[in-house]
Amino acid sequence: MVIMDMLNELFEKKLVVIARRIPLDKIEACVKAVTEGGVRFIESTFDQSAPDCIEKNVKTIKKMIEAADGHAYVGAGTVLTVEQVRAAYEAGAKYIISPNTNEAVIKETLRLGMISIPGAMTPTEIEKAYTLGAQIVKLFPADDLGLHYIQNISAPLSHIPLMATGGVNPQTIPEYAEAGIKAFGTGITILRRDLIDKSDFDGIKELAKEHVSAIKNIKGE
């Protein structure tokens, strides 16, 4: 699938589920639960505090792709270096998400034919990320910035697709969308630690369905 097809599907589905520090022995069940709940995009984050963070996430990405079995696109998150971009690409990741705007990371992502979603906070950062080639800019942390801030920057920057990460849940999705947000990233409201610990994957599936349903509602489906 060409990158534009995948990007168009991301704009249609609007939801990226963030898998952060999920035990490897439970990641397969978690991926199956969210895909059965209607999720098409899942992100595996690099744990920057881990000494083996690249090796660990490469294993996780590969495991997630296998578990998704063609039902979801797997990307890498918290990507801070070109080395991590390349490792994610070689593992099979289709998109790169970062908490910051790093020109080298964006350029390498695009060179490898992946979707670039860097993080930004201010209008200057957002515009810079987009000018460097990012297809979507992750507004982070969206919940700390607030709806009024998002509304204010969405007017002059309406040509730049923004993805909100932080404070995203079925209740806030309509509010974010009305403020101008085009996509949503969330982890803990679906991949809840308590549900993972007790292997309640049906519970995770239901939470995924609730988020997907909220997005369908704002689209009038």
Evaluate whether residue 37 is within a structural domain: yes
Per the structure, the complete domain to which residue 137 belongs is given by 3-212
| Domains identified in the chain, total number | 1
Evaluate whether residue 118 is within a structural domain: yes
Evaluate whether residue 221 is within a structural domain: no
* Of 94, 77, 87, residue with least CA distance to 163: 77
Confidence check: pLDDT of 55 > 70: yes
Measured between alpha carbons, how far is 57 from 18 in angstroms, rounded to an integer? 13
Evaluate whether residue 218 is within a structural domain: no
Evaluate whether residue 137 is within a structural domain: yes
Evaluate whether residue 19 is within a structural domain: yes
Confidence check: pLDDT of 100 > 90: yes
Confidence check: pLDDT of 1 > 80: no
- Return the CATH number at 79: 3.20.20.70
Q: What is the pLDDT of residue 219?
A: 83
Q: What's the mean pLDDT when you consider all of the chain?
A: 97
Local structure of 145: helix, strand or coil: helix
Evaluate whether residue 139 is within a structural domain: yes
Tell whether the torsion through CA atoms of 201, 203, 204 and 210 is positive or negative. Answer: positive
